[in-house]
Structure 1
Amino acid sequence: MTDSIFDRIRSAEGLLLDRPTYHADSDDEEKKLDGGVVWKLERAQFFNEVGDEAWDAFVAGDWARVLEIFESERAAIRRDVARYGRQGVRFRRLRIVGDPPTPYLQWESHSHRIFVECGHDIRALDAAEVAGLERAAALPELMVYGDCVLYQVRYDEGWTPIGAKRVDDRDLVTEAAAAVAALWKRSEPFPDYFRRCIAELPAPQPAGGD
């Protein structure tokens, strides 16, 4: 069986960056962009969002506070959307969604709804649609900046973010962007997913990974 592009990303050589260095490095790459697409691929159904105010409120069981925090972020989100617009950059976020949704996915989906309403482009794709690509392992968490660089985001065993692997192989980056774009074409607008699978659910209770 031929390895998929996602298998090759996992095995590719790259520069390992800790979390602060990854954020600084990716910010620099983003500022260099002059048009093109930034792809974000999210696969895991649980992350430990340590240090996030809305996550802390969720863990504390204060769902009303979670929604309040998400609502308060609209102005900052719109500023990001405007900045991408000035650069001619399209930021596209593809969320792989399990069924039934985990408590984490419910929490995150309410944030994603706000992001979409403020102008971000987010789509959802059922996890069953990528099963054929996951014979060896689940799809990696990816950030792909144009055709220049990609980052495989790294997590510890508790799914707390710890940094990323930077890959500069242009052929691999280009192929990764094309692979995520192909999945994007099979996905649905996030608001449709939200209305169908999330909106009518009761407030989620904090829980661990799936």
Structure 2
Amino acid sequence: MLNRISDLPATFLGPEEYRSDAGARFAAIDDFFWKLERRQSFQEEDDDGYRAFMRGDWDGAQRMEARALGALRRRFESVGFEYRRVRIVERPVSPYLQWEMQALRVRAEAGEGIRVLDAEAVHGQEEGGLLPEVVIVGTGALYEVGYDQAGVHNGARRIVDQEVIGACRAEMAVLWDKGEDLASYVTREIDPLPPPLAQL
């Protein structure tokens, strides 16, 4: 079902509408907030660590991400549900993804559940194109999060059909079970890499 999301009826929301709509549904989550990340690069201009990375300040980028640990830990401890993110990774790892893994490591340490899955594991589901970027807010709504060619967020398509949401939640659980814990992946695959080039 995940590979069919783009073809299903949905309501388009602009970036601010999406954030507001999804945020309003958080209180109703009683189990999982799911997130699937498939793209290998995004634009994150509102993130200090990302901007430092783009300037070529790799040490500064990592320090800036680490500063968020306390606030993130309080955030994850305050909710009554579990965050579960599945991050699909292609090889060779993109410069962006090398940076993002530093931010994700901090989020994992703070309490977010994050697992990594090699792109080869989902190739069978991508005959018609790459899997979409997906956020599932409990059982209330699924969002196909949109980005332009440069990787800038430009809104989301909202689906509230319970059959679709249920099927996608089940597929996300399968991907989660196949994934590797972020900490072990980063230690083995990311930490040995030289600092990334400041370009996408």
Per the shorter chain, which TM-score range? over 0.9
User: What TM-score comes out, normalization by structure 2 length?
Assistant: 0.97
1:78 to 68, 73, 77: 73
Aligned with 1:101: secondary structure?
A: coil
Query: Is the counterpart of residue 31 in structure 1 residue 27 in structure 2?
Result: yes
Query: Is the counterpart of residue 40 in structure 1 residue 32 in structure 2?
Result: no
Q: CA deviation at 1:112?
A: 0.9
Deviation track 1:132-158 (CA, whole Å, cap 9, x = no partner) reads 000001010000112221000001111
Partner of 2:83: 91
Task: List alignment gaps of at least 5 residues for structure 1.
Answer: none
- Cα distance in structure 2, aligned partners of 1:166 and 1:50: 24
Q: CA deviation at 1:77?
A: 0.6
Deviation track 1:98-146 (CA, whole Å, cap 9, x = no partner) reads 1111101100001111111111110000000000000001010000112
Query: Is the counterpart of residue 169 in structure 1 residue 161 in structure 2?
Result: yes
Query: Is the counterpart of residue 112 in structure 1 residue 104 in structure 2?
Result: yes
Query: Is the counterpart of residue 52 in structure 1 residue 44 in structure 2?
Result: no
Q: Is the 8 A contact 2:105 2:182 kept in 1?
A: yes
- Cα distance in structure 1, aligned partners of 2:18 and 2:64: 26
User: What TM-score comes out, normalization by structure 1 length?
Assistant: 0.92
- Cα distance in structure 1, aligned partners of 2:41 and 2:134: 15
Indicate the percent of aligned positions where both proteins have the same amino acid.
34
Partner of 1:102: 94
| Count of residues paired in the alignment | 200
Query: Is the counterpart of residue 68 in structure 1 residue 60 in structure 2?
Result: no
Q: CA deviation at 1:75?
A: 1.1
Task: List alignment gaps of at least 5 residues for structure 2.
Answer: none
